[in-house]
Amino acid sequence: MIGMLYSVAIGSQAQTAAKTLVEVAAPSDAVVLIERESITQTSFDTSENLGTRTADIATTGTGTATTARPFQAGFAAFGGTVETNCSIEPTYGTPVLLESGFNVLSGFLWTPANDDEIIVISPSQLAGMNLDVTPSASMNFSYQVTLREIGG
């Protein structure tokens, strides 16, 4: 596959609410592919089911500006922008691109079965991955999204 591969990886953060964990804005001159998503939990030892969803975003939220790190030395900087751990939620549009429940003891991992299942963010568009169910208590989550930028 062509393009440059980047990782957005956030270490253990306490979460007490349903919220957007990662918001990605594609650059105006490139397509961004989401090739992997994961959410793991490191502080809770009781089984609990939560949910996650990845969907198009109509209006950006407010989160922590985060640098998407290249997988290989010498790659150019990611051409889009990334925010994590949103304090003001974005407005989600349609369609929902991915929706899944998961148990916090085993975590969530999504990898496409083939290239036809990769999530595509068109130039200048936004997409987000959220925790769409409020945890019953504060839990520490780590999460990661793997992005491929094509063009630019």
Residues 6-43: tens digit of each pLDDT: 999 999 999 999 999 999 999 999 999 999 999 999 89
Identity of the residue numbered 55: A
Residue 145, pLDDT above cutoff 80: yes
Domain harbouring 87, CATH code = 2.60.120
Please give the pLDDT value at position 94. Answer: 86
Identity of the residue numbered 18: A
Give the C-alpha distances (Å, rounded to integers) separating 71 from 43, 83, 98, 104, 146: 28, 19, 24, 27, 9
Task: Report yes or no: 144 and 7 within 8 Å, Cβ to Cβ.
Answer: yes
Residues 78-111: tens digit of each pLDDT: 999 999 999 999 999 988 999 999 999 999 999 9
Please give the pLDDT value at position 30. Answer: 97
Please give the pLDDT value at position 2. Answer: 87
Please give the pLDDT value at position 142. Answer: 97
DSSP 117: G
- What are the φ/ψ torsions at residue 29 (nearest 5 degrees)? -120, 20
Please give the pLDDT value at position 1. Answer: 63
DSSP 76: P
Q: Is 74 left (phi over 0), alpha (psi -120 to 50) or beta?
A: left
Number of separate domains in the chain: 1
Average pLDDT, the chain: 95
The span from the CA of 91 to the CA of 94, in Å, is 10
- Rounded to whole angstroms, the maximal C-alpha distance in the chain is 45
The span from the CA of 60 to the CA of 24, in Å, is 9
For 54, the domain range is: 4-151
